[in-house]
């Protein structure tokens, strides 16, 4: 049995990158969805939740077609900026960000919506800008939601398969994440290796969710 750690390192690199990007764009989007009264949110909200119901292969397929070197965008990126999305780590990050979107945005949006509006208004009446209110009042008061979003997005990216396979293939060290490695090992009838990979992933996922629950309970008790 040959246990290769490269898929694990790659997987966590990918999850870290995707979660970071998701947090940076997820907070403003959740904020906009939670507080806007405009109609566009009725279009945007289902779009955000689409990855929950859409087979990952569908998203992967669209991305593959969209970014393939034969497409206009893929060609443009490859020739002028020398960026290849398909079968690259960057492609995996883009795919993962899109696919884990609801896992980051929905908890944060729920947290924002459960915050009493008058708390935000109190900050405004003290002369504080929206930005200052967001940083000092809103975000610190929805810490449990932020943590849930971060951990769920991270865990979901770790466990991703369909999008990664469609968009990234299985290039060792580049796009071969743990879930792909497990699939490849099973295909090659290396059940023991696949079992070890699966076991490790199982334990890690359980631990992450367990710790999240403990931290969240602790935080919530602070607010009581």
Partner 1 sequence: MQLDIDVEIMEAGISTLFGPSGVGKTTVLRMIAGLTNPDEGLIQVNGDVWFDSSRKINKPVQKRQIGFVFQDYNLFHNMTVQENLQYALKNKNDSFLIDEFLEMAALTGLADRKPLHLSGGQKQRVALIRTLLNKPQLFLLDEPFSALDLDMRLRLQDEFLSISNRFEIPTIFVSHDISEVFKLSHRVFVMKDGKIIRSGPPAEAFGTADAAAWVKLVGIVLAVQNEGSKRVAVLQIDNEITKVYLAMEDAQCWRTGDRVLLSVHAHDFSLAMINKMKP
Size of the site for partner 1 (CB under 8 A): 20
Residues 185-224 that bind partner 1 (CB under 8 A): 222-224
Is 135 a residue that touches partner 1 (CB under 8 A)?
no
> Minimal distance in Å, beta carbon 81 to partner 1?
41
For partner 1, give the closer residue by CB, 10 or 120: 120
Distance CA 13, CA 194 (A): 21
Is 145 a residue that touches partner 1 (CB under 8 A)?
no
User: Sign of the C-alpha dihedral, residues 93, 155, 113, 140?
Assistant: negative
For partner 1, give the closer residue by CB, 16 or 119: 119
Residues 100-129 that bind partner 1 (CB under 8 A): 116, 118-119, 121-129
Interacting stretch for partner 1, rule CB under 8 A, among 64-72, 102-110, 134-142, 193-201?
Answer: 134-142
The residue whose two tokens read 């929206």 is 130
Interacting stretch for partner 1, rule CB under 8 A, among 58-66, 70-78, 86-94, 137-145?
Answer: 137-145
How many angstroms from the chain centroid is the CA of residue 61? 18
Helix axes 143-158, 6-35, angle to 10 degrees: 140
> Minimal distance in Å, beta carbon 30 to partner 1?
18
Kindly tell me which residue out of 141, 170, 198, 205 binds partner 1, with binding defined by CB under 8 A.
Answer: 141
Q: Structure tokens of 218? A: 């602790």
Q: Are 153 and 103 in contact (CB under 8 A)?
A: yes
How far is the CA of 194 from the CAs of 124, 127, 179, 185, 203, in angstroms?
55, 58, 9, 5, 14
Is 80 a residue that touches partner 1 (CB under 8 A)?
no
Residues near partner 1 (CB under 8 A) are 116, 118-119, 121-129, 136-137, 140-141, 143, 222-224
């Amino acid at each position: 049995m040959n246990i290769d750690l490269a898929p694990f390192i790659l997987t966590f690199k990918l999850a870290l990158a995707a979660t970071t990007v998701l947090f940076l764009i997820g907070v403003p989007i959740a904020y906009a969805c939670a507080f806007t009264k405009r109609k566009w949110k009725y279009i945007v909200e289902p779009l955000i939740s689409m990855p929950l119901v859409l087979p990952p292969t569908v998203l992967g397929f669209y991305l593959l077609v969209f970014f393939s070197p034969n497409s206009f965008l893929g060609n443009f990126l490859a020739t002028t900026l020398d960026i290849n999305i398909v079968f690259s780590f960057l492609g995996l990050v883009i795919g993962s960000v899109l696919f884990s979107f609801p896992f980051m945005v929905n908890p944060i949006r729920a947290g924002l919506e459960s915050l009493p509006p008058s708390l935000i208004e109190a900050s405004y009446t003290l002369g504080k800008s929206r930005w200052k209110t967001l940083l000092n009042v809103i975000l610190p008061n929805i810490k449990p939601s932020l943590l849930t979003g971060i951990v769920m997005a991270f865990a979901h990216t770790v466990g991703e398969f369909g999008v990664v396979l469609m968009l990234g293939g299985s290039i060792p060290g580049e796009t071969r994440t743990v879930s792909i490695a497990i699939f490849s090992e099973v295909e090659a009838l290396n059940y023991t290796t696949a079992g070890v990979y699966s076991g490790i992933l199982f334990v890690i996922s359980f631990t992450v969710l367990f710790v999240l629950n403990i931290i969240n309970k602790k935080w919530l008790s602070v607010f009581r």
